[in-house]
């Protein structure tokens, strides 16, 4: 089983507008924490799509090991 690249050992805390977002699950995207399609270069990863319905602050996982993708669950504290 492939392992994602750990991009950072902290979440990406962002103020987001309502809309649809595609979170990078492989760690290869150049537009972290969002997917840019880099996973298509020979990996089995897929983006994780999420719809945000109101403007709010969100903590997207940066270590790619969360149990609640695409959101941070604190897993990075144990890496």
Residue 7: per-residue pLDDT: 96
- Cis peptide before 33, with omega less than 30 degrees from 0? yes
Instruction: Locate the domains of the chain by residue range.
Output: 12-78
Helices and strands in the chain: count of H runs, count of E runs = 0, 4
- pLDDT values of the chain reduced to their tens digit, one per residue, 79 residues: 689 999 999 999 999 999 999 999 999 999 999 999 999 988 999 999 999 999 999 999 999 999 999 999 999 999 9
């Amino acid at each position: 089983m492939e392992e994602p690249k750990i991009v950072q050992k902290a979440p990406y805390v962002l103020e987001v507008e309502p809309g649809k977002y595609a979170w990078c699950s492989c760690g290869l995207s150049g537009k972290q924490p969002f997917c840019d399609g880099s996973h298509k270069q020979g990996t089995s990863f897929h983006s994780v799509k999420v719809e945000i319905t109101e403007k709010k602050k969100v903590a997207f996982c940066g270590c790619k090991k969360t149990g609640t993708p695409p959101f941070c669950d604190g897993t990075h504290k144990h890496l």
